[in-house]
Chain A
Amino acid sequence: MSQVSAAKEISFLKEQAKAVRIEILKMLAEAGSGHTGGSLSAADVATALYFSKMRHNPKDPAWKERDRFILSKGHAAPLLYAVLALSGYFDKSLLKTLRKLGSPLQGHPCSKLLPGVEISTGSLGQGLSIANGIAMGLKMDGINSRVYCMLGDGETQEGQVWEAAMTAAHYRLDNVCAIIDNNGLQIDGHCCDVMALEPITEKWSAFGWHVIDIDGHDMGAILGALNEAEGIRGKPAMIVARTVKGKGVSFFEGKAQYHGMAPTSEELERALKELEDNE
């Protein structure tokens, strides 16, 4: 890709990320509850995946050769719904039904109800095992697709994550690319106070992964990391995306209390104005 077209791509993705954030905030305010902070922190990586990196077809969600995205941190459902809707999996008007009775947009993603959701998640620590299983099946069938799995940093306190970390390395699943949305916060506070996670990169390296440590809001760095990961052979890749919880809305940023709180209508108004003004 030439420098000019690369710059164009990045500016397009930044616009998309802004649109994704706007939809996240609007649907959460409408729902009156849900997880704001972790949806916003992971928005740039998810945008890069759905609008650039991943091969997928919103008109054919079951396409065998699609790349897969597993949202292991299922509480960031609003982010998944936003990228799916903006990609064209379903009509954007559905977003306002989030968490409402009868809606396919459950509080945490449900694969039986919404095409585009690969697997139901919500109980933490399980997505990477599923991603591994998919990656094994794809390899057995000679399908070249990649499997992306987004984890929260706090989520890696779950033991199953490390079981899966061993599995991916043991079976040399180089079609697996995991991303940790490393926003440093969990419900009860800073991860380092609740249950320390560092040194994160060293841990994953020691488990046999190729680790790439980036600024998770730098679109150029995100694309670079996803491309680097795709080139790795014989081992899985982990992108540690250093992010800010609530990213994009100054009064949500870095605040643990917005882990599981939706914006009020006043907060929504201020947030949308801020997002518009920032460009």
Chain B
Amino acid sequence: MSEITESKKQKAALAPPHNPPLSKGGSGGGVATRDAYGDALLELGKKRKEVVVLDADLSGSTKTAKFAKVFPERFFNMGISEQDLIGTAGGLSLTGKLPFASTFAIFETGRAWEQIRQTISYSNLNVKLVATHSGITVAEDGASHQAIEDIALMRVLPNMAVIVPADGIETKQVIEAIAEFYVRLGRPKVPVIMPDDYKFTIGKAYKFHIGKDANIIAAGLMVSVSLDAMELLKKEGIDAGVINMPTVKPLDHDAVIEAAKASGFIVTAEEHSVIGGLGGAVCESLAENYPASVKRIGIKDTFGCSGPADELMKLYGLTAEDIVKTIKEALKKS
């Protein structure tokens, strides 16, 4: 657990506004995690000469182009060939390089899943898989480009850590972590919610607040949505907590158990299928360690569709109001 003081936690939790309209660019509030990635990668490249970056013709979108512009000799555009992207990154790591391989989440984890399994995971190579444009907030591009299965696909692989940063601050911290990992980033700008002095540790949750009535365990952009839900519930006298779980694997079991003990009721929130992702991981942990009632907020075993990101979040039940409704209904029944 990070050593952030209670007042900082509160400040972070209350920093307005948590949930402005999701926007992919322009002057809207917040920072896109992919932009934070581009900046963090460039900084890391300046510090560590062994960092090399590979992309599959999407460097402008994944923001690896920032690195490419400064370090062209350490950047390899592999063209539209994700399977080759993964294998080449693996080969580079065998010569002592520290490769970051980036493209959209659906192509990285879907198209090249078996290459990741065989070459990266099985051989335990230190290759950083950092994918952007995850979830439904890819928005207008539609279901073909909306990865809602990627956490599940990566979580099942041995040796693979799965990290879903909630904002730009967390993304920058994650990129410097040392591990074989899959990092899931998004397209839209998201509110900055983590404190400036936040220190990311693989496998550690960040507890904004532990509630007595319910606790929301969230990852990615759903963390800020959950903080909004927490505030709404507070006004109605319901004490709901929010835990940011950036590392879906290895999961912070202690934090999950602590939350379950405090409230007896857990809600998971993720911009991913309810099957196999954070919700699945939390349910597995609770079933084995501390059986408790769980409701999973996420994409309910269906595909996404085209539309503005905000509208999609409503359509698929991923808003603060949806979380509030879920918690109130569950508490009414109990």
Contacts and interface: CB of A to CB of B under 8 A. Distances in A.
A120 B114 CA distance: 13
A183 interface: no
B122 A137 contact: no
B90 A119 contact: yes
B118 A132 contact: no
B306 interface: no
Contacts of A122: 118
B58 interface: no
A160 B86 CA distance: 10
Interface in A112-148: 112, 118-123, 125-138, 140-141, 143
Contacts of B86: 129
Contacts of A119: 90-91, 94, 119, 123
A32 interface: no
Interface string B209-240: 00000000000000000000000000000000
Nearest to A131: B91
A87 interface: no
Interface string B89-128: 1111111110100000000000000110111001110000
B207 to A, nearest CB: 36
Given A129-B90, A129-B91, A112 B123 contact: yes
Nearest to B82: A163
Contacts of A167: 78-79, 81, 84, 88
A132 B114 contact: no
Contacts of A125: 83
Nearest to A167: B84
Interface residues of A, number: 34
B96 A130 contact: no
A159 interface: yes
Contacts of B74: 140
A126 B118 contact: yes
B76 interface: yes
B118 A133 contact: no
A71 interface: no
Interface centre among A112, A129, A135 (most CB of B within 10 A): A129
A131 B89 CA distance: 10
B158 to A, nearest CB: 11
Contacts of B93: 133
B87 A164 contact: yes
Interface string A81-124: 00000000000000000000000000000111000001111110
Contacts of A121: 118
Interface centre among A122, A130, A134 (most CB of B within 10 A): A130
Contacts of B91: 119, 129-137
Interface of A: 110-112, 118-123, 125-138, 140-141, 143, 159-160, 163-164, 166-167, 170-171
Given A137-B52, A138-B95, 17 more contacts: A112-B123, A112-B124, A120-B119, A120-B123, A121-B118, A123-B117, A123-B118, A128-B87, A129-B84, A129-B86, A133-B91, A141-B96, A160-B81, A163-B78, A163-B83, A167-B81, A170-B79
23 contacts: A112-B122, A118-B94, A119-B94, A119-B119, A120-B122, A126-B119, A127-B87, A129-B91, A129-B119, A131-B91, A133-B87, A133-B88, A134-B95, A137-B92, A137-B94, A140-B95, A141-B96, A159-B83, A160-B115, A163-B84, A167-B84, A167-B88, A171-B76
